[in-house]
């Protein structure tokens, strides 16, 4: 499963972009999306930061989609956080909604992130999608919203 209720953080009180990325990567690991070896969490976190250093993943509308390819990733997946207050994502962008995407570094699924990013970006452009994420009261609601707007 690309997205699960276990990878959803509602009303996360994060201090900064690095805190958000670290905590979502941990959710990703806890959901079983990383291989079972030591230091895989650090490998995955580093891959996301390396990608972020190339260019910001903030999209506007208070959304960001940080992502990373890593040998630590077992299968493609997505984690989500809705923050209690916006954090600075880059010099002039505040973010409150974050979808973290992780994919294996190599293999058949290594371009899966392009498909995932495309689906998420399209959904984020929908007013109803953003409004529903803002109002969602549970991980189950977020999961249903995600499924509705990104299936097929």
Residue range 77-125, pLDDT digits in tens: 899 999 999 999 987 899 999 999 998 887 655 567 678 888 899 999 9
Residues 7/79, Cβ–Cβ less than 8 Å? yes
Q: Does 67 participate in catalysis according to the annotation?
A: yes
Which residues are registered as beta bridge partners of 64?
Answer: 58, 98
What's the pLDDT at 41?
A: 86
What's the pTM value of the predicted model, to 2 decimals? 0.92
Residue range 90-101, pLDDT digits in tens: 878 999 999 999
Who has greater pLDDT, 1 or 23?
23
Q: Tell me what the mean pLDDT of segment 48-56 comes to.
A: 91
Total count of residues recorded for the chain: 152
Distance of alpha carbon 152 from alpha carbon 143, whole angstroms: 15
User: Which of 67, 85, 113, 115 is an active site residue?
Assistant: 67
Residues 65/44, Cβ–Cβ less than 8 Å? no
CA distances from residue 130 to 81, 109, 123, 125, 152 in whole angstroms, order as listed: 13, 28, 8, 8, 19
| Confidence at 130, pLDDT banded by 50, 70, 90 | very high
């Amino acid at each position: 499963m690309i997205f699960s209720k276990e990878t959803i953080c509602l009303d996360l009180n994060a201090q900064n972009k690095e805190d958000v990325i670290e905590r979502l990567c941990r959710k990703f690991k806890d959901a079983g999306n990383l291989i079972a070896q030591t230091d895989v969490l650090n490998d995955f976190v580093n891959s996301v930061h390396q990608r972020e250093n190339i260019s910001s993943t903030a999209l506007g509308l208070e959304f960001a989609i940080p992502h990373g390819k890593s040998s630590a990733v077992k299968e493609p997946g997505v984690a989500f956080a809705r923050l209690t207050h916006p954090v600075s994502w880059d010099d002039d962008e505040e973010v409150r909604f974050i979808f973290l995407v992780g994919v294996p570094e190599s293999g058949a699924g290594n371009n899966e992130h392009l498909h995932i990013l495309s689906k998420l970006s399209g959904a984020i452009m929908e007013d109803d999608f953003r409004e529903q994420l803002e109002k969602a009261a549970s991980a189950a609601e977020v999961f249903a919203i995600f499924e509705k707007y990104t299936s097929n």
